[in-house]
A and B are shown apart, each in its own frame.
Chain A
Amino acid sequence: MLSDRPGSASLRFFYAALFWLIVPGLIGLFLATFLYTPAFYDHLPLVIKPYLSFGRMRPVHVNLAIFGWLSQAYAGAILYILPRLTRTHLYSERLAHVNWWLWQLMNVGTLVTLLLGMTQGREYAELIWPLDLLFVTNILLLALNVWVTVLRRKEPKIYVSLWNFMAATLVVIPVYVVGNKMWDPSGAYTGMTDSIVNYFYVHNLFNSWFTTAGVGLALYLLPKLTGKPLYSHRLALWGLWSVWTGEHHELYSPAPDWLQYLTIVFSILAVVPTTAFLVNFFMTMRGSWNKLRDDVPLRFLAVGAIFWGLTCVQGVAQSFRSFSLVVHLTNWVVGHSHLAFVADYTFWAFALIYLMQPQLLRLPGMYSKKLMEWHFWLVFVGIVLFMGSLWIAGVIQGLSWMNTQIPFIDTVIAMNPFFLGRLIGGVMIAIGVLFFVINVWLTARQAVRQPAPALSPVAIAPGEGSRA
């Protein structure tokens, strides 16, 4: 259960992440189907209706996708990278396994409590107090492995990815504690403060954990997959400094005006770290673009990075009042969040698993290259169709609301064809992910058939030309 074999915890995190990708993925399909044709729900048996109700399934979809799938893929990749960049053992493989078990407990708890309607009622902060404690414990255990391994490193230079992991595991904890008011088990802020704290939390959870750690992972992949050193390490370090832009979700809301203006300034400042990353990305990629044709992991990384740039452009645009007035509260926002979570971070996570699973199993590569190609194209076309539908839908919705002659219900009915587009995109993504899961499973089975030689925890730092 608590193996000491190097890399075993990392591999387990990846496999568990896949399971927790399938669950919220299927729920997402269910939700998309419901929005397209809600009448089928009316005829379901009364005993199961509460648990399949849109309002209960939606937080399950979101929480499992971000804390079950993405966070575990991150954890697996961070545990993989740590010994390689520090040229030493992971501080404690056993601790990482304890971490893994607690993570599964948290995911199961999330699924059960949210379906039962046990929620604190704040978006992204729905989890009840015991699960909040589990989340913080999980990040703390991961942080312990990150920090102690880095402090005991044999490689003098701390590569930028490690800085990102250290910053991410450090900052996400206070953000989560404040955002969920964890010193009070009810988690209950009241009135306007409640809303302000919630948006602070939502945005900084993304900034501190998903973005900071995610960029760290991308900066590991970039030299690894291109076989070239990072264009500028110094520039990459500058990319670290991005926090607190959350309140731009409150434009034109009842929140104080000065706060709304301040948040616009912060959002514009977020251009700095974004640019730092993108410059590094494009400069490192120079001369390697032809590799995209055959290299699926690199393609996932590159397309994800370009989508990441688009996420940031949209983020800044949405932080202007004029644009926010049209698209805020519409389906545009759903498209934007899937841009960040599916088209960027999840794409990067696919690349990470494609690189790392064969390495951890001492295999030359994934079982099937063909399945990788199918995976990429289905997911790519699917997500573009998905987001495109929602962005167009959102603009139409927003402009229709401004016309007071249009009854609200007409703006709902007008969404139907776009919900179909989103559903078709979603089905394509699901089939692509199915190919991905099959490929990982076949690769794992291959390893069982050909037992691997003993592992060495010490490997080669990025940029040294090897993909080992």
Chain B
Amino acid sequence: MKLGLGFLIFGSLLSLVLGIIVTIVIPAQDPVGPSPLARPYTALELQGRAIYQREGCGYCHTQQVRAPEANVGTIHQPGDIGPVSVPGDYYYQSPVFWGTERQGPDLAHVASRHGTGDNPDWLIAHFKDPRAVSPGSIMPSFDYLSDAELQALTAYILTLK
């Protein structure tokens, strides 16, 4: 049984280490530079990003366009969510907000949507009272955020081109 215990310890740790190497270490070696869409954030945008994180926006909004659902790259058609996401898009991000659920729309390229996502006034009105500008929306109202916080959040959203 001594052998059994040793086998258990050795076996499970070995399989774990192999798992870490194969699924984390090797992919991390892939040299990925920033994509044309990625750029370093300003202080205000980072502040907005922290608010996005604090308020848990990422639980309902993904920021990843999967290959088969990406359209030709225009965002003007209904249902078209923009070009497919590539690793370099996330170059400057920590944490990344890929997300696991879309209770709301994908936001990877939200700032390219004319009249709404690229319009600071629309964005702020929408944060304060989502259902007033987007009937049927199930987003919480963020009217408890200060004006400065809403400005910062908007600055961040506008980086999602």
Contacts and interface: CB of A to CB of B under 8 A. Distances in A.
Nearest to B142: A53
Given A404-B77, A404-B78, A408-B79, A167 B12 contact: yes
Contacts of A241: 11, 15
B95 interface: yes
A34 B140 contact: yes
Given A39-B131, A325-B68, A259 B27 contact: yes
B160 interface: no
Q: How large is the interface on A (under 10, 10 to 19, 20 to 34, 35 or more residues)?
A: 35 or more
Q: How large is the interface on B (under 10, 10 to 19, 20 to 34, 35 or more residues)?
A: 35 or more
A157 to B, nearest CB: 8
B94 A189 contact: yes
A410 B136 CA distance: 8
The SS class assigned to the B binding surface is: loop
B160 to A, nearest CB: 15
Contacts of A120: 95
A167 B9 CA distance: 7
Given A253-B66, A408-B105, A121 B97 contact: yes
Given A42-B131, A243-B12, A325 B66 contact: yes
A402 B81 CA distance: 11
B9 A170 contact: yes
B27 A256 contact: yes
Contacts of A252: 66-68
A329 B102 CA distance: 6
A191 B94 contact: yes
B148 interface: no
Interface string B33-63: 0000000000000000000011111111010
The SS class assigned to the A binding surface is: helix
Contact of A167 (B8, B78, B85, B142): B8
Contact of B55 (A38, A55, A167, A200): A55
A115 to B, nearest CB: 11
A191 B87 contact: yes
A171 B23 contact: no
B64 interface: yes
A268 to B, nearest CB: 16
A313 B66 CA distance: 24
A333 B101 contact: yes
Interface string B81-97: 00011110111111111
B142 to A, nearest CB: 8
Nearest to A57: B56
Contacts of A163: 8
Given A38-B131, A410-B136, A415-B138, 9 more contacts: A46-B143, A190-B94, A193-B28, A194-B96, A244-B15, A329-B101, A331-B101, A404-B80, A409-B134
20 contacts: A34-B138, A54-B59, A55-B60, A59-B56, A121-B53, A121-B97, A158-B4, A167-B12, A190-B91, A193-B27, A194-B93, A195-B90, A196-B24, A244-B18, A247-B23, A252-B68, A328-B66, A406-B79, A409-B135, A409-B136
Interface of A: 34-35, 38-39, 41-42, 46, 49-50, 53-56, 58-59, 117-123, 151, 156, 158, 163, 166-167, 170-171, 174-175, 178, 188-198, 200, 204, 208, 240-241, 243-244, 246-247, 249, 251-256, 259, 262-263, 325, 328-331, 333-334, 397, 401-410, 412-413, 415
The 5 residue pairs across chains A and B that have the minimum distance between CB atoms:
A55-B56, A244-B19, A404-B79, A117-B54, A252-B66
